[in-house]
Structure 1
């Protein structure tokens, strides 16, 4: 059984995504956050309903909330959902 998405798990996921998958986080901001002009983005938090990003647009940092299409069950579900979202972006 996977771990529930607690604040500690959220921090772990965000750190991993920002350190190892910055390009994917930027693609989430551009596509799902409707900010194609973003030049950088960071994942700030994730919970069962969605994720909070911080997007860099010109000289401004803008907060973004991206809702998931369904509530996530746990950290493993978050992992699979983020991968599926990235696949959707790359297929376009």
Structure 2
């Protein structure tokens, strides 16, 4: 009698899955590296400082993403004294299941790295300034998708402000 349950994975199946996963990651790697190096230098530095597997990672001045694989991100670091350290592993925060997870993992690691480094590091690195910019971009994108709702909210807000201003100015002042 045939069973509908899947067959248990053998060691060969696991090797094939890892090989396929590695191939998928390598297809995405050039695009991910270009994007991260161009747009997320602060995140790469935070990854190195918080999670870099090198004794001098805590002295990182800047970091460049040079590779990624099933283990994690591979960075070249420039230290505060100007020396460089190559091929520093920053392991993913969880086991990667597919190349499509790279974005979610990078975002989660960004949050975890900055949390680990603390408030003073966030202030020094411009974390909060960048966060406000991103909020503005997301608000703009949301407003662009829903122009009628956005105009309604803006109009009601302006009416409320005008009413409050008018009411405030009509209130007699005490002498």
TM-score (norm 1): 0.84
- Which of 1 and 2 has higher RCO (CA within 8 Å, sep 6+)? 1
Q: In the alignment, does 2:59 pair up with 1:46?
A: no
Q: How far apart are residue 69 of structure 1 and its match? A: 4.1
Structure 1 runs, 4 residues or longer, greater than 6 Å off = none
Stretch of structure 1 that moved more, 64-73 or 75-84: 64-73
Q: Does 1:26 align with 2:45?
A: yes
Preserved CA contact (<8 Å) 1:40 1:55: yes
The structure having more radius of gyration, on CA atoms, is: 2
Q: Which runs of 5+ in 2 are unaligned?
A: 1-22, 117-175
1:1-92 correspondence to structure 2 within 5 Å: 4-6=24-26, 8-33=27-52, 35-57=57-79, 58-63=81-86, 64-92=88-116
Tell me how far apart the structure 1 counterparts of residues 91 and 113 of structure 2 sit (CA, whole Å): 15
Aligned residues: 89
Deviation at 1:62, TM superposition (A): 0.4
Structure 1: where are the runs of 5+ without partners? none
- Cα RMSD between the aligned structures? 1.8
**Secondary structure of the residue that 1:71 maps to in structure 2?**
coil
Task: Tell me which protein shows more helix as a share of its residues.
Answer: 2
